[in-house]
A and B are shown apart, each in its own frame.
Chain A
Amino acid sequence: MSAAVTSPASAPVRRRRRPHGPGSARGRAAASGWLFLAPMLVILGLFLVVPVLMALWVSMSDWTGRGSPLSSDVSFVGMENYRSLLLGGGLATQDFGTAMRNNAYYVLLVVPLQTALALFLATMVNRRALRGRGFFRTAFYFPSVTSSVAITVLWLFLFSASGTINAILARLSISGPNWFNDPRGVLHLLLGAVGVDTAPESLAQHGFLGIPLWEWLAGPSVAMSALILLAIFTTSGTFMLLFLAALQAISSEVEEAAVMDGATAWQRFRRVTLPMLRPTVFTVVTLGLIGTWQVFDQIYTGTQGGPAKTTITPAYLSYSAAFQNNQWGRGAAIAFVLFAIIVLLTVLQRLVLRERDTVPRRKRFYRTPPAPPAALAGTVTAAGAPGAGTTTGTASATEGDDR
């Protein structure tokens, strides 16, 4: 997580003309340049680039984990691993479908909630007049620095049958669920409460990725809900800091101008602050999407996919297929499908946000005088040509302009 969050955008490279000596000095710079890069190139090449190529081979082979994947008794099976995963209809497909469903609900709930909570926390602790700002920021951020293993252990205790959460619920005369042992989906529970217990014919008959549509509609299981709360608890602090930094970059004059114009606090937030935070929202949602599709540590430490496979995620499935069941080809194939999903969602999300982000960020911050009254009427969005915005974090790293 931390690595992703801190992925810096490259600052535009200013070309500095330094007096170059004759050719020899240039040659020396090149030699030492490569020498300086060598350790990094060896490590990243060996443990990032080569592995990906090797896994691509494994995902198209029938290697079972014995000997070298490059030896002659391993044969090429083409897209067979991918086919059995996505179209086979057997157990492999069902498990993958279940994992996709579980993770989809996880993403669907965690990303919006953590973004909203982080934004809320940031606006709350951003006030200059607030006493104890430091304490509140520390309190909200602390879960983000601790290890996911330690927090998961804590969560297992809090949400155990006789744990703290259920003890508190009991005091309110609510009998809490057996969180980490309850495989029922919360949507099914809700439907059950209104009397829909069995699947309608059409939902039971048709399916996708090997599981019936009715199962897709189960919602996150009670166990998964506890993990969803865990994710929100640990990541909201990190993203709060991103929002906080963005909020502090908004000049106070803009706020003051809006106050002068008689905008209420909500109007100021909705019409002035929020549009300016759009690039940060983009970053947070992107990082959220990348992170939530990779949930692994919590599953490994906590539930190991149980109860009844309702907390299996593709990342964990990929690990268990390869390392526990020796289905290396399948495991590698799952990893690549996951990779494709993450890339696809990031690109998609980027397109959607770019379309809506009509105010170029640079103009807003550099040239716009304190927001004109019209800003409150929403016409500020017409101020600039589209296209310049949404370059923050990983996004702008991808655009690194270097030569």
Chain B
Amino acid sequence: MSATTALPAPSRPGAPVPRARRSNRRVVATSFTYAVLAVLAVLYVYPFLIQVATSFKTDAEAAQNAVSLIPQTWSTAAYERLFLRSDFPLWFRNSVIVTVVVTLGRVFINSLAGYALARLRFRGRGLVFAGLVAVMAVPNVVLLIPKFLVIKQVGIYNSFAGLIVPLLADAAGIFIMKNFFESIPPSVEEAARLDGAGTFRVFWSVVLPMARPAVVTLVILSFQGSWNELSHFIVASQDPDLVTLTKGVAQLASGQLSQGTQYPLKLAAAAIMTIPVAVLFFVFQKRIMNQSAGAVKE
């Protein structure tokens, strides 16, 4: 919207401080900065390390030796149990299905809507836009009961459709696409139009391919969002065959499916569940970091 709203300037490689200005005080300050950052980094990273480490411990060792990052006796019992003697693979499969379909659907539907709002002139467009903004303001948790009511009424309760369809469009994604389409010069479309391409053709073969950066952003956001979604899955089905990872692991954690503490088992489940988003994160790190910041700034 203004200067702050521009994308962040690409970070320049660390410009070294001129030697002349380096005083003793500066060295002290720098060491202090690194010390503080190192402590904080340990606080942020250690929990994940202990998670992986504990998942390879035995139940007894997890309780007795909760601090060590190296198990005294390595045990893959937790993983064996998860994959061979539990519904975990089913949950994983369900999460994959839901996430893939939601991601593809969202990209398509949000792009269509974003393009229409950005480029097509027609009566009522402003109204739709205003409605979208209003809808965005409704908090998710408030919608739990109402969503359940409609899903039940429409007859898609306890089905994949119930898990997937309500997640297929989201206002935030539409805004991202709309903003991006607005930045593509209209002359591009005109050339295609003169060649006789219809509106959908122009959108599908000309504009959408140009919007790849926005599409990638949307893919990341949708994948992350639907993989990590919990509350919607809780209200959309009761069927044990449709349990997703988040729901399954949440039930595992609250002890409904297991006895005792079984921390290695629970932590292994949580760790595996984290892997897909972690991979996504590390592959698209730069983009994720920039878009999270950029989105609000735009």
- Residues in A whose Cβ lies below 8 Å from that of B211: none
Cβ of B20 < 8 Å from any Cβ of A?
no
Interface pairs (27), CB distance under 8 Å: A8-B298, A36-B112, A37-B117, A40-B169, A40-B174, A44-B171, A47-B151, A49-B135, A129-B30, A145-B288, A149-B230, A149-B273, A157-B51, A158-B50, A164-B50, A164-B66, A246-B4, A297-B230, A315-B141, A319-B234, A323-B235, A335-B142, A392-B1, A397-B175, A400-B130, A400-B133, A402-B129
Closest residue on chain A to residue B6 by CB atoms: A249
Q: Give the residue of A50, A237, A362 whose beta carbon is less than 8 angstroms from that of B3.
A: A362
Q: Which residues from 42 to 65 on chain A have a C-beta closer than 8 Å to any C-beta of chain B?
A: 43-44, 46-52, 54-55, 58
Cβ of A152 < 8 Å from any Cβ of B?
yes
- Residues in B whose Cβ lies below 8 Å from that of A157: 51, 54, 62, 66, 263, 266-267
- Residues in A whose Cβ lies below 8 Å from that of B123: 30
Q: State the main secondary structure of chain A at its contact with B.
A: helix
Knowing A36-B113, A149-B246 are in contact, say whether A44-B130 is a contact too (CB < 8 A): no
Q: A151 to B175: give the CA distance in the assembly, Å.
A: 29
Cβ of B139 < 8 Å from any Cβ of A?
yes
Cβ of B285 < 8 Å from any Cβ of A?
yes
How many chain A residues have a CB neighbour from B under 8 Å? Answer: 131
- Residues in A whose Cβ lies below 8 Å from that of B130: 400, 402
Q: A143 to B281: give the CA distance in the assembly, Å.
A: 11
Cβ of A139 < 8 Å from any Cβ of B?
yes
Q: Which residues from 225 to 245 on chain B have a C-beta closer than 8 Å to any C-beta of chain A?
A: 225, 227-228, 230-231, 234-235, 245
Q: Which residues from 1 to 58 on chain B have a C-beta closer than 8 Å to any C-beta of chain A?
A: 1-6, 8-9, 11-12, 14-17, 30, 33, 36-37, 40-41, 44-45, 47-48, 50-51, 54
- Residues in A whose Cβ lies below 8 Å from that of B45: 139, 142
- Residues in A whose Cβ lies below 8 Å from that of B17: 129
Q: A67 to B221: give the CA distance in the assembly, Å.
A: 37
- Residues in A whose Cβ lies below 8 Å from that of B44: 139-140, 142-143, 233, 237
Q: A335 to B123: give the CA distance in the assembly, Å.
A: 35
- Residues in B whose Cβ lies below 8 Å from that of A37: 112-113, 116-117, 128
Closest residue on chain A to residue B293 by CB atoms: A245
Q: When the two chains form their complex, are residues A9 and B5 in contact, meaning their CB atoms are under 8 A apart?
A: yes
Closest residue on chain B to residue A366 by CB atoms: B3
Closest residue on chain B to residue A284 by CB atoms: B296
Knowing A8-B175, A54-B146, A402-B129 are in contact, say whether A18-B186 is a contact too (CB < 8 A): yes
Q: Mark B148-169, 1 if CB is under 8 A from A, else 0.
A: 1111011000000000011011
- Residues in A whose Cβ lies below 8 Å from that of B112: 36-37, 39-40
Q: Give the residue of A16, A127, A283, A297 whose beta carbon is less than 8 angstroms from that of B33.
A: A127
